Amino acid sequence: MLSRRLFIQTILAAIALPKRILFANGLLSNNAFKFPSLDFGKRNGRDVYFNLNIQQGFSDIIANKKTKTWGINQDFLGVTLQANKGDRVHIKVTNHLHQTTTLHWHGMKLPANADGGPHQPIEPKQTWLSEFDIIQPAATTWYHSHQLHKTGEQVYQGLAGLFIINDEVSNAMQLPSEYGVDDFPVIIQDRDFNRDGSFSYINSMHDKMMGKLGNVVLVNGVIKPVLNTKKPLIRLRILNGSNARTYHLSFDDNRHFYIIGSDGGLLEKIVKSNSITLSPSERMEILVDITDGTSTTLRHKSANDSMGGMGMGMMNRMMGGAEDFNILQINASKIDKTQFKLPEKLASHPQINKKITQKRYFDLQMKMGPMMMLGNAFSINGKTMNINRIDEVVKAGSTEVWVVKNSSMMAHPFHIHNVQFKIISKPNIKPYERGFKDTVLIEPNSIVELLIEFPSYKDRKNPYMYHCHILEHEDQGMMGQFVVV
Ligand code: C2O
Ligand code: CU
Ligand code: CU
């Protein structure tokens, strides 16, 4: 039998990083911070009507080149949608691309036919209407393409945006909430570029196995932007919108910040920290105190390799990349000397104390290196995604425990549609993972337990998805389907 060490070395040799066709020169630096515009839709009482166009355009991302990009109501990425708890939204999505796509409302509790997953494709020139009530609390959710086998590529082109939910609880709190003034979206994505300025997507075995990692990090489509502000306290709504990279975020002066929210909305109490880990599709809302009036830079520091050289640490580093990146510079100048107070308590989370009716077990599996070639490289419970197969049947309104095991050698961010769960157990769980979540990062050879209360929407025909949110893994089959009846 191969020794473990030799085994890992064999794999690493097989997936050695390709020579990047990296566009190294001419990257713009010191760019002004940009953010998507806010779209409130057209309101009529509690009914809110949105009109979205999925379109192609060109963007100035790197110097002297135009990058062909996709976006929603803009050239790259989507406009930020905003609505309130209690609203009924009516979203008309028209596809102006030359290929089929979808828009999925990630993090939203909603009827299966409104979900926008692979079962709601929008053909070119067609319009899809998604209608649902917003039944969940204030949160930073997002939306993105979910086209079967094409999600990675379509999100990479730009089909992703934020959907902010407000409610009375959050409005009553004195949190920074003026969009673009003291409340900023921070969509972090990594990209590679070809010499002509176009995005370079998968071009190696490494990209297929580890997921697509880019050498250039963008915030809202801008390289290393500089955010100038006079506000003493700012709120960052951080979305890891990357296909595969996990970020370990901290500030270069190691300052502490205040974590107020995760995927499903506000935490119960502020968590003070100087670093956070954010895997693909996870969101985190943080408050940054900049009354000291200096400049500080949010950056990604690659994980430490605790096993030295060729072990799990190595695999993890490869997922986050071996490099450190500066991501976003915040320049504080002429700070308003207004005082601010941080709320003692944030949201109170309803206790989930209903009877647990079912426990389900999931096992995330992947074949690595040369074994990938044998096919079905990515699977859950030994099954690779099949759009014609329903994997699980869940009772509407029930409470379940999902036990998810990662039997592979790399971490996978596991995501479930239509729910916000609580993590019951996870090795080394962080205080900021105690809130409502729709995605959890599962380390290699570990198990998490999730407590899930399913909404009462029923639909025998249309399934929801659960999957790894490394989009290349999802596209290659690490995904399953459940119906709620
Ligand atoms: Cu963010 Cu199934 O997706
Ligand atoms: Cu989702
Ligand atoms: Cu994965």
pLDDT, tens only, 377-402: 999 999 999 999 999 999 999 999 99
Per the listing, tokens 């605790």 go with 306
- Residue 270 Cα to ligand 3 midpoint, Å, equals 30
Least confident of 87-96, 313-322, 459-468: 313-322
Q: Write the pLDDT tens digit of every residue in 410-451.
A: 999 999 999 999 999 999 999 999 999 999 999 999 999 999
Q: Which ligand is located closest to the Cα atom of residue 151? A: 1
Q: Whose CA is nearest to atom 1 of ligand 1?
A: 106
- Residue 421 Cα to ligand 1 midpoint, Å, equals 15
| Contact (CB, 8 A) for 89 and 131 | yes
Q: What is the pLDDT of residue 27?
A: 57
Q: What is the pLDDT of residue 315?
A: 62
State the pLDDT confidence band at 6, using cuts at 50, 70 and 90. Answer: low
| Contact (CB, 8 A) for 329 and 225 | yes
- Residue 382 Cα to ligand 2 midpoint, Å, equals 22
pTM beyond 0.75, yes or no:
yes
Q: How far is CA 163 from CA 49, 103, 107, 263, 467, in A?
A: 14, 12, 9, 12, 21
| Contact (CB, 8 A) for 332 and 293 | yes
Tell me the mean pLDDT in the region 116-131. 98
Q: Write the pLDDT tens digit of every residue in 53-67.
A: 999 999 999 988 999
Q: Which residues of 158-178 are buried (b: 16+ CB within 10 A; e: fewer)?
A: bbbbbbbbbbeebeebebbee
Q: What is the pLDDT of residue 314?
A: 59
Cβ < 6 Å from ligand 1: which residues?
A: 104, 106, 144, 146, 281, 415, 417, 465, 467, 469
Which helix (H) or strand (E) is 326 found in, with range?
Answer: strand 325-332
State the pLDDT confidence band at 336, using cuts at 50, 70 and 90. Answer: confident
Q: How far is CA 41 from CA 70, 96, 214, 353, in A?
A: 21, 20, 34, 37
Q: Which ligand is located closest to the Cα atom of residue 418? A: 2
- Residue 107 Cα to ligand 2 midpoint, Å, equals 6
Q: Which ligand is located closest to the Cα atom of residue 239? A: 1
Instruction: Show the DSSP H helices in 290-354 as ranges.
Output: 312-320
Tell me the mean pLDDT in the region 119-138. 98
Q: What is the pLDDT of residue 411?
A: 96
State the pLDDT confidence band at 28, using cuts at 50, 70 and 90. Answer: low
Q: Which residues of 263-291 are buried (b: 16+ CB within 10 A; e: fewer)?
A: bbbbbebbbebeebbbbbbbbbbbbbebe
Ion ligand 2 neighbours (CB, 5 A) are 106, 417
Whole-number CA gyration radius for the chain: 21
- Residue 205 Cα to ligand 3 midpoint, Å, equals 15
Q: What is the pLDDT of residue 309?
A: 41
Q: Is the pLDDT of residue 41 over 60?
A: yes
Instruction: Show the DSSP H helices in 367-411 as ranges.
Output: none
Report the atom number in ligand 1 closest to the C-alpha of 439: 1
Q: What is the pLDDT of residue 277?
A: 97
Report the atom number in ligand 1 closest to the C-alpha of 479: 2
Report the atom number in ligand 1 closest to the C-alpha of 142: 1
- Chain centroid to Cα 217, Å, comes to 15
Q: Which ligand is located closest to the Cα atom of residue 414? A: 3
| Contact (CB, 8 A) for 144 and 99 | no
Rounded distance between C-alpha atoms, residue 334 and residue 444, angstroms = 47
Q: What is the pLDDT of residue 320?
A: 61
Q: Write the pLDDT tens digit of every residue in 465-477.
A: 999 999 999 999 9
- Residue 366 Cα to ligand 3 midpoint, Å, equals 8
Report the atom number in ligand 1 closest to the C-alpha of 107: 1
Q: What is the pLDDT of residue 1?
A: 41
Q: Which carries the bigger pLDDT value, residue 255 or residue 6?
A: 255
Tokens describing residue 148 = 């079967």
